[in-house]
Copies of this chain bind each other. A is one copy, B any other.
Amino acid sequence: MSMSNKVIVTIAPTGGMASKAQNPHLPTQPEEIARDVYDCWNAGASVVAVHARRPDDLATCNADIYRDINRRIRDRCDIVINNSTGGGVNGDMVRKADNGYWEILWEERIKGMDAGAEMCTLDATTINASFEGRELLMNTPPSRCRELALGMKQRGIKPEWEVFSPTHILQDVTSLIEAGFDEPPYFINLVLNVHRGFQNAMPYSPRVLQMMVDCLPKGSIFCVSGIGPAQLPAAANALLLGGHVRTGLEDNLYYRQGELATNQQLTERVVRLVRELGFEPATPAEARQIMGLPRTDASVLPDFAPGAMVEA
């Protein structure tokens, strides 16, 4: 099975920021999410980037909710399941500390590793996110980056290294990779154009994307998440540079200016683009082969890995 023209399409259906008030098509509850993911899998997606929401739709990393979502997805299809350890900007994820800072809570974030996902996001950096008039500190110094990376290795989880700037690649990601916390291929998600909301994040342009790709450690493969109107051009650009693509309402609520999207529409469009440019969307099995799933340097299989499922 030749992988050279296979492109992994990741669907990020929900995220931790948007609300149904902004786009009524946004799936927030487990059954809604699972249905959307199934439609996107049918359209060509091979990885799902899951965020959990509470019954009131606000953000959480509650492992029970993640597990409920993961189960409903796995019951429908073999898509690769990825759970966020970033969480979101409200609900269980945030609290005002005694020092007056609002924070995205570390103790909540790490729960994202406990729901049996094959992959988890690993945000190896410290940012301030500005949302709804609040500045939310997401403090991830090097020691916490190591704690996340170690926690994933111990659970057999493959990290999706989520980076917003060349510094994130050159510093923590490279340090942790060199320290043996991941094995090649390293799967690095370049998130671009979230710079209006996140301190320490880069805008999207072809030049910026090229520069970020140039910074990747040897042995990496990459995916690009363009935020908002950058979603579509950044995906096309990723394909030109030999990368993989992410789409979905987490990153972008609109199909085009003034027209709200659905996850299925966004997936179908990017899959058309993948094919038009001469590539094929990878199946989940091919995506696992490309990304090196399951890890060979871990002794346990996450609950929702296909092999574990067989045994369960």
Contact = CB atoms under 8 A, between A and B. Distances in A.
Interface of A: 97-99, 101, 103, 125-128, 130, 135, 137, 139, 141-143, 164-168, 170-172, 195, 199-203, 206-207, 210-211, 232-233, 236-237, 239-241, 256, 269, 272-273, 276-278
A135 B141 contact: yes
A179 to B, nearest CB: 14
Contacts of A171: 195, 199-201
Interface of A is mostly: mixed
A101 B98 CA distance: 12
Contact of A167 (B165, B206, B211): B165
A199 B167 contact: yes
A199 B141 contact: yes
A236 to B, nearest CB: 6
18 contacts: A125-B199, A126-B128, A126-B199, A130-B142, A135-B141, A135-B142, A165-B200, A166-B202, A167-B167, A200-B200, A206-B206, A206-B240, A232-B277, A233-B240, A236-B239, A236-B240, A256-B278, A272-B276
Nearest to A229: B278
Contacts of A210: 206-207, 210
Nearest to A239: B236
A143, A172, A277, most chain B CB atoms within 10 A: A277
Contact of A233 (B172, B207, B277): B277
A171 B241 CA distance: 22
Contacts of A239: 236
Contacts of A97: 97-99
